[in-house]
Amino acid sequence: MLHKTRGIVLRITDYSENSVIAKIYTFKFGLQSYLINGVKKPKAKIRMNMLQPLHLLDLVVYHKPNGNIQRISDARSEPILQSIPYHISKSAIVMFMNEMIYKSLKQQHEDEVMFHFIEKSIELLDESEKGFVNFHLIFLIKLTRFLGFYPDLSNSHFSFFDLIAGTFAANQPPHIYFIEEKYIKLWLQLLNSSIDNFYTLQLGTESRKYLLQKIIDYYTLHIEDFGQVKSNLILEEVLS
C-alpha cells in the first residue's frame, strides 16, 4: 500500500553498484530503511544529491509494518535547502547534528512532534544569515525533551550540574561528569535559550568547545550504546 509522508535523510549505505539503503526518519513511520535502486545513474528519478544528510523530502512509499527494508515510489526535495549544502560552517553543523540524531533514534516508532521540531530546526538553520555558530548546542539540548532526559532546571542557583543525574548540584559531584562552576552560568543560559532566537546566545570558542563536549557526554550517559562521536572534531576545527 502506498503512503505519503515527510522524511529527513540520515544515512546512506551502498547496496550495489547503482543502489543504496537510505535511513530516513519519517513523519508517519519513524526511522525506516529504504532500498533505492538506480540512484547513481545519470537519469535517476531519485538522485544522490537529494539524499544528503538532513535533507527534507516529500515521499511516496510502500510500507510493510514488519518489514526491515521498505521501498520508495517517489521522492522530491521539499523545501530545497538553499544555503546548508554550500556553506562550510552550516555543512559542518549539519553533519554533526545528523550524527547525533542518528545515534539517538534507535527505534522505528513515529513521533510527530519530534519530527516537526527537527524539520523546523533544519529550515531555521538553512534560512539563517548570521549568529548560527551555537545553533547545534541549543538544538541538542531541546532535542532531549523528546528523548526523555531534558535537564532538570530545579535548583538552577546551585554551582554545578551533574550530567549523570541531570540536575544542578550544590557541591561538586564525586565523578568526572559534571559542568564546572566557571561554566555554570553559560550552561544555564544555554538551557534557557530558544531555538527560534538561537542567534542571541553568545559563546567564545573555548566555552563552545567545552559545552559541546559536555552535551556529547550527556547524550552518551543517557542513551544506551550511543557510541563514539566523530564529526565534532571537524566541527570544532571549522568553527574555531
139 class by beta-carbon count within 10 Å (0-12 exposed, 13-18 middle, 19+ buried): buried
Using DSSP's 3-state secondary structure scheme, residue 230 falls into coil
Mean pLDDT of the chain: 95
CATH of the domain at 179: 1.20.1440.120
Domain boundary among 28, 49, 77: 77
pLDDT of residue 77: 96
Query: Is 111 in the same domain as 47?
Result: no
Could you tell me the residue range of the domain that residue 68 belongs to? 2-77
Query: Is 108 in the same domain as 191?
Result: yes
Query: Is 102 in the same domain as 170?
Result: yes
Query: Is 200 in the same domain as 105?
Result: yes
Query: Is 140 in the same domain as 36?
Result: no
- Per-residue pLDDT tens for 55-105? 999 999 999 888 889 999 999 999 999 999 999 999 999 999 999 999 999
Closest CA to 96 of 239, 216, 231: 231
Q: Does residue 18 surpass a pLDDT of 90?
A: no
In percent, how much of the chain has pLDDT > 90? Answer: 90
Distance CA 135, CA 107 (A): 26
Q: Does the bond joining 79 to the residue before it have cis omega, within 30 degrees of 0?
A: yes
Q: How many domains in the chain? A: 2
Query: Is 198 in the same domain as 179?
Result: yes
Query: Is 68 in the same domain as 89?
Result: no
Query: Is 230 in the same domain as 113?
Result: yes
Domain boundary among 30, 53, 77: 77
Q: Does residue 1 surpass a pLDDT of 90?
A: no
Domain boundary among 77, 94, 129: 77
Distance CA 38, CA 47 (A): 8
Q: Are the C-beta atoms of residues 115 and 27 closer than 8 Å to each other?
A: yes
CATH of the domain at 52: 2.40.50.140
This prediction has a pTM of 0.95
Distance CA 188, CA 23 (A): 34
Q: Which residues pair with residue 169 across a beta bridge?
A: 160
Give the three cell numbers for residue 22: 537510505
Give the three cell numbers for residue 198: 538561537
